[in-house]
Amino acid sequence: MSLVKNEWMKIFSKVSTYIFIAFLLLAALGAAVIDYKLSPDENKDWKQELNADIQEQEKALEAKEISEEEKAAIMEEINYNKQLLADNINPDLNTNWTYMAEWTTSLTSFVTLFVVIVCSSLVSSEFSDGTIKQLLIRPYKRWKILLSKYITSLLFAALLLASLLLFSYLIGIIFFGNGSYSDKIMDPASFEFSPVVVGEYFVDMIIYWIPGFLVITTIAFMLSTLFKNQALAVSISIFILFASSTLNMVIQSFIGKYEWLKFVLFPHLDLRGYISGTIEMFDGATLGFSMGVLGIYYLIFLALTFFFFQKKDITN
């Protein structure tokens, strides 16, 4: 714990740490302002408005000059509005929970970026600054020193995520009021009629994001132990982070031809597609399979991290 405490103090001795936290606050505030400006005013009589829309649409169907395509589009709108009424879903609902479900889940990408930057420099910075020898002459085994750094990186990741959630929740209340956890909304990721409970949807989005985030964090930490140059470790980590989505699309396009590609890491990093079932990565893909792949890669990266750090030469 003394080693963890020491590493924690190192992180908070840097100005960049406070900049990251402040940026999350500003990002949450900026997203709330945009949402507030773009969202329509919530109508308390939304049911009456929907019924009025349905009546107008039904009248439009009676027009003689209407084409079959227009009829089909209007019928689709009528059915959609009737389903909203039947499921008691306000299409203009705007609360702190709807704000977090639509915006905060996207802002987690900033948490990933900031944690990758910090993790990829935790060990490499010791080599760049020339402090690695002073660190390793302390009466602790190498693996304990490295473990303390890894634990600190996870604690810092938890702090940034908790900060984003807290900022978003409070800012959401200020701008939109405190809504109900059990309010129903339409699944933002679905193009079909797919109602979800807003609070459950938000919690699921965060939980399903965490495994991929943990693997990315571990990759960045591993690179920090492999490279003595801090700038190189950070650059490669950020490149992998931003290239992962592109690599995922490339792998998806060839996965039908090459079965072994389903065991590559990148298609499994974002599990949030499993929440609504709107994204199917490949035939036979399941949440359990993706979790298993992520777990295997996580253990491999962690083992390589400790192995190379144990063998690393610090004489130069």
Quick: pLDDT tens for 220-233: 888 888 887 777 77
Which residues make Cβ contacts (< 8 Å) with residue 20, sequence separation at least 6? 114, 118, 160
> Higher model confidence: residue 182 or residue 67?
182
Predicted confidence at residue 277, as pLDDT, reads: 62
> Higher model confidence: residue 209 or residue 1?
209
Predicted confidence at residue 92, as pLDDT, reads: 84
Banded pLDDT at 243 (limits 50, 70, 90)? confident
Question: CB atoms < 10 A from the CB of 270, how many?
Answer: 19
Residue 279 has pLDDT above 60, yes or no: no
Exposure string of 219-236, with b = 16+ CB inside 10 Å and e = fewer, is: bbbbbbbbbbebeebbeb
Question: What is the chain's mean pLDDT, rounded?
Answer: 86
What percentage of residues in the chain have a pLDDT greater than 90? 35
Find how far residue 207's CA is from the centre of its chain.
9
Predicted confidence at residue 282, as pLDDT, reads: 67
Q: Say which DSSP state 185 is in.
A: E
What percentage of residues in the chain have a pLDDT greater than 70? 94
Instruction: Report CA dihedral (300, 306, 310, 314) to the nearest 10 degrees.
Output: 110
34-38, 97-101, 207-211: least confident range: 34-38
The residue-averaged pLDDT of 197-217 equals: 93
The residue-averaged pLDDT of 101-125 equals: 90
Q: Which residues pair with 185 in a beta bridge?
A: 196
The residue-averaged pLDDT of 208-213 equals: 93
Predicted confidence at residue 278, as pLDDT, reads: 56
The residue-averaged pLDDT of 176-189 equals: 88
Banded pLDDT at 113 (limits 50, 70, 90)? very high
Predicted confidence at residue 169, as pLDDT, reads: 96
Residue 11 has pLDDT above 60, yes or no: yes
CA distance 29 to 27: 5
Which residues make Cβ contacts (< 8 Å) with residue 222, sequence separation at least 6? 301, 302, 304, 305
Which range scores top for mean pLDDT: 82-91, 120-129, 225-234? 82-91
Banded pLDDT at 316 (limits 50, 70, 90)? low
Residue 248 has pLDDT above 70, yes or no: yes
> Higher model confidence: residue 142 or residue 201?
201
* pTM to 2 decimal places: 0.87
Residue 313 has pLDDT above 70, yes or no: no
DSSP strands (E only) in 26-162 = none
Banded pLDDT at 26 (limits 50, 70, 90)? very high
pLDDT tens, residue by residue, 152-175: 999 999 999 999 999 999 999 999
